Amino acid sequence: MNYSIIVKEDCATCQLVVPVIKQLQTDDELTIYSQDNVQFPAGVSVIDDTELEYSWRRRIETVPTLIKFDVNGAEISRVVGWNKNEWQVLTGRPLGFDLPNFRPGCGSKSVDPGMPEKLSARFDRDKLQSREVTVSTEEDDIEACYERGWSDGLPVVPPTAERVMRMLTGTSRSPEEVVGIVPPDLVPCTIEKVAINAVLAGCKPEYLPVVIASVEAALQDEFCMHGLLATTYYSGPLVIVNGPLSRAIGMNSRGNVLGQGNRANATIGRALQLVIRNVGGGKPGGVDRSAFGNPGKYTYCFAEDETNSCWESLAVEKGFSETASTVTLFAADGMQGIVDQKSRDPESLSRSFAAALRVVGHPKMILASDAILVVSPEHERIYRQAGWAKQDVKNYLNKILTIDGAELVAGAGGIAEGIPAKLAGKQLPKFREGGLNIVRAGGSAGMFSAIIAGWGASGSIGSIPVTREIK
């Protein structure tokens, strides 16, 4: 049998077992790898592992680690730290030195802070398939990203191999796996490409599964990402995250939920936009023909506040379990605020909401833009106290948003915009069936809610919201 042992001089347990190491090298085929000093242990033949390649490839987390191999070089077993009985069983040798029966080992240098990513980038670089761009030492890294067109207008994090490998630790999925074809250039997008753009956006590795699910949702046909890019309308993708993962990674669902300040919210939405830009080629002035856009086209992402809600979440409405974590993508415009500090019954509050929802797109526009009503905890309390379920709110809103066509026809109210005159007298809904969704989010103080209107080509003629489970 063959054996190897990995040690470092700066480890009291490695110092302790030096007599055993010397015995084993004499009696057996033992190869010694030292992480910090090729003269340690003294008096024996030592292989230099100060570059830590062997430790990395053997996934050493603690020294000393003693490994036993068969004649073909395959690992049979290993012992971590010093355990006299286990070392004797593994080697089949009596180790009669006057040593304690057990001592824990020390941390391997290969798992020092930041080291796994460095070693992965150095020794597993072949796992990355993307072309490596060399930046000269005289070039500023941030400016180099700008000059190469990788930025959305704000500074990005340079995607070094080390950073990309660190990002990939956030998922068990293979870097080569293709998640879909990204418009408008219809380029295949791999997990690796998503990770690169997550680095650019400033994500943490634990955000990566959410970013991947967001990209997968955006590339589903029913979301119509290509059309959303090409439209002259205002809209871009909004990401709503549900489930325990949103809380585990620290997403904001409460105060300032649609504003700045939360890294997860800010960078997850931004990463999706950068994938569309950098992989698919969807850049303003190219296929992206929006006349105005909206600030959410930098990043538009938040979590629903499911804690202590009296309503089922958006994900549960879409057929997922309460324990599932999901993303829902919605083709969204900017936010429109609603203030109602006086309503104390659900009918009155709903009429405030309906009056604000009436103007989505245009007061005369019907069956076009979808909308998301973001209800704050204080407004939700009005419904909670009245015993109204979320579906009750939707039913009431849809009822009072059914409008006489005479108010909507072209010319009515002195406004040239409007629907054909033949529809005068008909009762017409503002939203298509399923076109109005409600989520709970926002700060606990303030009787404010918000409307996020959708693309004017919502529904079967354009984009419908897509919900996807996070893997």
Using one digit for the tens of pLDDT, what is the confidence trace for 305-339?
A: 999 899 999 999 999 999 999 999 999 999 999 99
Distances in Å between the Cα of 184 and the Cα atoms of 226, 330, 428 are: 6, 18, 36
Burial state string for 229-264 with b = 16 or more CB within 10 A and e = fewer than 16? bbbebbbbbbbbbbbebbeebebbbbeebbeeebeb
Name the one residue in this structure whose structure tokens are 């987390």.
Answer: 61
Taking residues 165-175, report their average pLDDT: 94
Interval 72-127: pLDDT, tens: 999 999 999 999 999 999 999 888 678 999 999 999 999 999 899 889 888 887 78
Taking residues 124-140, report their average pLDDT: 86
Give pLDDT, residue 360.
97
Give pLDDT, residue 98.
87
Residue 82: in which H helix or E strand, if any? strand 82-83
Give pLDDT, residue 126.
79
Residue 303: in which H helix or E strand, if any? strand 301-303
Give pLDDT, residue 138.
87
E strands along 349-464, which residues? Answer: 371-375, 402-404, 427-429, 436-440, 448-454
**Alpha carbons 171 and 471: distance in angstroms, whole number:** 9
Give pLDDT, residue 401.
98
Amino acid at 261: G
Query: pLDDT exceeding 70 applies to what percent of the chain?
Result: 99
pTM to 2 decimal places? 0.88
For the residues of 32-79, what is the DSSP string, one character each?
EEESS-TT-STTS-EEE-TT-HHHHHTT--EESEEEEE-TTS-EEEEE
Burial of 18 from C-beta contacts in 10 A (0-12 / 13-18 / 19+): middle
Does residue 150 surpass a pLDDT of 90?
yes
Does residue 346 surpass a pLDDT of 70?
yes
Name the one residue in this structure whose structure tokens are 């931004």.
Answer: 270
Taking residues 467-471, report their average pLDDT: 96
Sign of the CA dihedral running 366, 350, 443, 214? negative
What are the boundaries of each domain within the chain? 2-112, 143-469
For the residues of 212-252, what is the DSSP string, one character each?
HHHHHHHTSGGG-HHHHHH-SSS-EEEEEEESHHHHHTT--
Q: Which two tokens stand for residue 119?
A: 């070693």
Give pLDDT, residue 137.
86
Give pLDDT, residue 132.
86
**Alpha carbons 9 and 17: distance in angstroms, whole number:** 11
**Alpha carbons 420 and 366: distance in angstroms, whole number:** 12
Sign of the CA dihedral running 459, 278, 189, 193? negative
**Alpha carbons 438 and 430: distance in angstroms, whole number:** 15
**Alpha carbons 64 and 15: distance in angstroms, whole number:** 9
Name the one residue in this structure whose structure tokens are 């012992």.
Answer: 79
Query: pLDDT exceeding 90 applies to what percent of the chain?
Result: 90
Banded model confidence at residue 27, pLDDT cuts 50, 70, 90: low
Does residue 190 surpass a pLDDT of 70?
yes
Interval 412-452: pLDDT, tens: 999 999 999 999 999 999 999 999 999 999 999 999 999 99
Q: Return all residues near 283 (Cβ < 8 A) that are at least 6 apart.
A: 149, 277
Taking residues 134-154, report their average pLDDT: 93
3 state SS of 335: strand
Interval 366-398: pLDDT, tens: 999 999 999 999 999 999 999 999 999 999 999
Interval 212-269: pLDDT, tens: 999 999 999 999 999 999 999 999 999 999 999 999 999 999 999 999 999 999 999 9
Give pLDDT, residue 117.
86
Distances in Å between the Cα of 379 and the Cα atoms of 218, 306, 444 are: 31, 15, 9
Question: What is the distance between the terminal CA atoms of the chain, rounded to a whole angstrom?
Answer: 42
* Range in 28-32, 123-127, 353-357, 369-373 with the lowest mean pLDDT: 123-127
Q: Return all residues near 469 (Cβ < 8 A) that are at least 6 apart.
A: 213, 320, 324, 325, 326
Sign of the CA dihedral running 426, 431, 432, 438? negative
161 neighbors 239 (Cβ within 8 angstroms): no
70 neighbors 53 (Cβ within 8 angstroms): no
Pairing of strands 46-48, 29-34: parallel
Question: Quick one: which of 40, 48, 37 has its CA closest to 16?
Answer: 40
Which CATH number is 2-112's, of 3.30.70.2740, 3.40.30.10, 2.60.120.590, 2.40.440.10?
Answer: 3.40.30.10
315 neighbors 323 (Cβ within 8 angstroms): no
145: left (phi over 0), alpha (psi -120 to 50) or beta: alpha
Question: Quick one: which of 302, 294, 174 has its CA closest to 236?
Answer: 294
When the pLDDT of each residue in the chain is averaged and rounded to a whole number, the result is 95
Distances in Å between the Cα of 327 and the Cα atoms of 137, 196, 457 are: 41, 20, 21
Give pLDDT, residue 28.
66
3 state SS of 136: coil
